[in-house]
A and B are shown apart, each in its own frame.
Chain A
Amino acid sequence: MREVCVIGVGMNKWGELWGKSIRDIFVESALLAIKDAGVDKIDSMYVGCMTSGLFVGQEHLASLLADYLGKVPIPSTRVESACASGGLAVRCGFIEVASGMSDVVLVGGVEKMTDVSGDGATYALATAADQEYEVFHGATFPGLYALMAKRHMHEFGTTRDMLSAVAVKNHDNGSKNPLAQFQSKTTLEGVAKAVMVADPLTLMDCSPITDGAACAILASVDKAKEISKNPLVKILGVGNATDRIALHSRKSLTTLNATVEASKRAYEMAGKSPKDIDFAEVHDCFTIAEIMVTEDLGFFEKGKGGHAALEGKTALDGEKPINTSGGLKSKGHPVGATGVGQIAEVVKQLRGEAGERQLKNPKVGLTQNMGGSGGSAVVHILEVM
């Protein structure tokens, strides 16, 4: 298998982009990535998108986006794994370059979520859960994570303030990210007193509805050395795993097993352990998700993720900075784009280009992207060469 680098990343401002279509959003970020990488020839592309069919009535997206990017007739593939679609697109591009089939591959993610009502978005997102045995009974996505939160609080004593601390920290980080949907800060009380969505989760425990895209250019290390002017960021490890998608089919409500399994694979491939990771972008679709994921990635003991957040261990100046970009909570969560947006942040940090939120000389970063209520997960480990 050949070694693979990220030689360019591109992300536009995320938010409610009323004036822009799904094709414009994607092409803007793809052009930024192409410019950043300094390449003119792309061999193929992968696009992560959860449900453009339900959000904008457009399928056959891979060809449409290749066309509007001016890349027809290169091969283009759409990848779907609910909210982990972007991360999975990166993995597909990695495999194509590592195999030797292509030298330069564009991997991207996109979602245009604001062309439907709140009800419509709730419906579209719920298609990632078990239709007949969860959604049929009135479950929503916040509801599924609320069931995990309630159980985590019951088993480990996780508190309201611990959940809130995740949102406060991610909004602090997002306030330093000009591309984030929200630049506003919040407080423990601000999160706790927001309108209740599904007990114990309030609106401020939830990531928002977002339009956005992100892209990255992957290349073999040999090709990268030939064409890239940027510091090379190598993808050391890739892990992808699945879990039963219905919560009631799982042995535990407080462990996200796809994340455990995906990270095991990525750590093993990279030859790294949790303590070698300087910082991570993780899938905080809800505050409880960040707490559980930081435990399941091995950063903190099971049951201690909430304490770590409340004690500042995951802050920019903490021992394990989590979601320096603002995370899904503050940067926004255009579901299909999120996994690639995480790669963009880790690459910016590793190249020392993260502006006000820049960490001090990070060497190794991790991304964790998750589908639905954890039925799929994709983990990448990246190191600056």
Chain B
Amino acid sequence: MFPARIWREIPQRYRLEANRCPQTGEIYFPPRLVCPEGKCVELEPVKLAETGTVESFTVIRVAPSAFTDEAPYPVGIVKLDDGAKMMCQIADAQIEELKIGMKVKIEFRKIQSDGKAGVHAYGYKCVPVRD
């Protein structure tokens, strides 16, 4: 993978940078140049909340080549406490404990490596919040 494709996304993947439409209050992740709802072009930068709940999940058992060593692994759609949503892996969780509505927090993790000699790509995964 060409390194620029990885470092270009660093603001989102390392720092959870998003933006918000001042007219509608909607948060966009990744950030957008135009708000699709209000057609506003003056969106303001925000950082995403780091806790949320799982809206849906699956366990990928037939994985793409970059992830075959990790399968089976859970992937979910997380609704963050600020209302924004993201797709990410659910790490450090037993498959049996996964459920819609479970509380999670966002952590910084390695996501994939580009073959044996290529660069590592880092980003966010969510992990269960255990009381």
Which residues from chain A sit less than 8 Å from chain B, CB to CB?
A: 119, 122-123, 126, 132-140, 142-143, 146-148, 150-151, 154, 195-201, 244, 246-249, 253
Q: Are B87 and A133 in contact (CB under 8 A)?
A: yes
Which residues of chain A are within 8 angstroms of B112 by Cβ–Cβ distance? 136, 138
Which residues of chain A are within 8 angstroms of B121 by Cβ–Cβ distance? 136
Given A123-B65, A136-B121, check contact A198 B87 (CB 8 Å): no
Q: Are A138 and B89 in contact (CB under 8 A)?
A: yes
Which residues of chain B are within 8 angstroms of A248 by Cβ–Cβ distance? 29, 77-78, 85-87
A119, A196, A200, A247: the one contacting B77 at CB < 8 Å is A247
Which residues of chain A are within 8 angstroms of B57 by Cβ–Cβ distance? 147, 150
Which residues from chain B sit less than 8 Å from chain A, CB to CB?
A: 9, 28-30, 36, 55-68, 70, 73, 75-78, 85-89, 100, 111-112, 121, 123, 125
A132, A148, A197: the one contacting B61 at CB < 8 Å is A197
Which residues of chain B are within 8 angstroms of A253 by Cβ–Cβ distance? 55-56, 77
Given A126-B64, A135-B64, A136-B123, check contact A143 B75 (CB 8 Å): yes
- Bound Cα distance from A154 to B36, whole angstroms: 29
Q: Are A151 and B111 in contact (CB under 8 A)?
A: no
B105 to chain A, nearest CB (A): 16
Which residues of chain A are within 8 angstroms of B89 by Cβ–Cβ distance? 137-138
Nearest A residue to B68 via CB reads A119
Q: Are A247 and B87 in contact (CB under 8 A)?
A: yes
Q: Are A138 and B75 in contact (CB under 8 A)?
A: yes
Nearest A residue to B5 via CB reads A132
A138, A150, A200, A244: the one contacting B73 at CB < 8 Å is A138
- Bound Cα distance from A369 to B64, whole angstroms: 25
B64 to chain A, nearest CB (A): 5
Which residues of chain B are within 8 angstroms of A135 by Cβ–Cβ distance? 64
B86 to chain A, nearest CB (A): 5
5 A-B pairs closest in CB distance? A146-B58, A151-B56, A248-B85, A138-B67, A199-B59
- Bound Cα distance from A151 to B79, whole angstroms: 13
Q: Are B61 and A137 in contact (CB under 8 A)?
A: no
Which residues of chain B are within 8 angstroms of A247 by Cβ–Cβ distance? 77, 87
Nearest A residue to B57 via CB reads A150
Which residues of chain B are within 8 angstroms of A140 by Cβ–Cβ distance? 60, 62-64
Nearest A residue to B67 via CB reads A138
- Bound Cα distance from A143 to B63, whole angstroms: 9
Q: Please list 26 pairs of residues, one from A and one from B, whose beta carbons are closer than 8 Å in the complex, sorted by A's number.
A: A119-B68, A122-B62, A122-B64, A126-B64, A133-B29, A133-B30, A134-B87, A136-B112, A137-B87, A137-B89, A137-B125, A138-B60, A138-B67, A138-B70, A138-B89, A139-B75, A139-B87, A142-B62, A146-B58, A147-B57, A147-B76, A148-B56, A196-B59, A198-B61, A199-B59, A248-B86
A201 to chain B, nearest CB (A): 8
Which residues of chain B are within 8 angstroms of A151 by Cβ–Cβ distance? 55-56, 100
- Bound Cα distance from A142 to B58, whole angstroms: 9
Q: Are A137 and B88 in contact (CB under 8 A)?
A: yes
- Bound Cα distance from A137 to B87, whole angstroms: 8
Nearest A residue to B59 via CB reads A199
- Bound Cα distance from A174 to B87, whole angstroms: 36
Which residues of chain A are within 8 angstroms of B55 by Cβ–Cβ distance? 151, 253
Which residues of chain B are within 8 angstroms of A123 by Cβ–Cβ distance? 64-65
Q: Are A150 and B30 in contact (CB under 8 A)?
A: no
Q: A119-B65, A122-B64 are in contact. List 6 more A-B contacts (CB 8 A).
A: A132-B30, A137-B87, A137-B89, A138-B60, A151-B55, A248-B85
A154, A199, A200: the one contacting B100 at CB < 8 Å is A154
A211 to chain B, nearest CB (A): 21
- Bound Cα distance from A151 to B28, whole angstroms: 22
- Bound Cα distance from A146 to B58, whole angstroms: 6
- Bound Cα distance from A172 to B128, whole angstroms: 43
- Bound Cα distance from A119 to B71, whole angstroms: 14
- Bound Cα distance from A253 to B100, whole angstroms: 13
A22 to chain B, nearest CB (A): 24
A207 to chain B, nearest CB (A): 14
Q: Are A150 and B60 in contact (CB under 8 A)?
A: no
Which residues of chain A are within 8 angstroms of B66 by Cβ–Cβ distance? 138
- Bound Cα distance from A134 to B36, whole angstroms: 20
Q: Are B65 and A150 in contact (CB under 8 A)?
A: no
- Bound Cα distance from A248 to B36, whole angstroms: 15
Which residues of chain B are within 8 angstroms of A249 by Cβ–Cβ distance? 28, 85
B34 to chain A, nearest CB (A): 13
Nearest A residue to B76 via CB reads A147
